[in-house]
Amino acid sequence: LNFESLYRSHYDFVWRTLRRLGVCDRNVEDACQIVFLNAYRRLPQFEGRSSLKTWLCGISLKVASDYRRSASVRREKLVEPPPSEVPFSAEQQQQVEQRERLEEVDAILAQLPIEQRTVLVLHELEQLTGEEIATIEGIPLGTVRSRLRLAREAFLLLATERSLSAGKKAAGGHR
């Protein structure tokens, strides 16, 4: 395994983790760079006590955390692009729906406390085990479980609320 293999085999994982932990779309590539740059520099300190994936995940969490804290992000207000008047093809329509769902996921995740959000993303989306998450976060397994339970409940509730609210809006629009 060389560093390029490490990079290529984990790039998607790092990218997704950063995206779901609050790094916005246009900054995620740069955040990935920071993760792998740091990984490269810290490689001599990697003792092999955890898997490379877990290790990279820890670095990603730190980078995402720094990103969320940065003043420029807090000040930043993204402006929605104007709606396109061009009719969509079926494929484009699917892409738009996928994008809308991702925006909704991000909006819901943003409402969760960061501890719950992290556990939910790592377990439900990245399929890390409880033990791995406990190692990364430096918390007991029981805490991971309880955070995950709370995160699932909150996610379900928020998704349902948004669904109902969208349904009401649609019904209002048809009247």
Contacting residue, 53, 104, 139, 143, with other proteins by CB under 8 A: 104
Binding of other proteins by 19 (CB under 8 A): yes
Distance of CA 45 to the CA centre of its chain: 27
**Closer residue to other proteins, CB minimum distance, 88 or 95:** 95
Residue 13 corresponds to which amino acid? F
> Token pair for residue 146?
């309880």
Binding of other proteins by 165 (CB under 8 A): no
**Closer residue to other proteins, CB minimum distance, 46 or 87:** 46
Residues 27 and 17: their CA atoms lie apart, in Å, by 13
Binding of other proteins by 6 (CB under 8 A): yes
Binding of other proteins by 156 (CB under 8 A): yes
**Cβ-proximal residues to 155 (8 Å cutoff; 6+ apart), any chain:** 108, 109, 112, 120
Binding of other proteins by 117 (CB under 8 A): no
**Closer residue to other proteins, CB minimum distance, 101 or 168:** 101
Contact 60, 11 (CB under 8 A): no
Type and span of the H or E element at 172:
helix 141-174
- To other proteins, the closest distance from the beta carbon of 41 in angstroms equals 6
Q: Which of residues 24-63 bind other proteins (CB under 8 A)?
A: 26-34, 36-37, 40-41, 43-48, 63
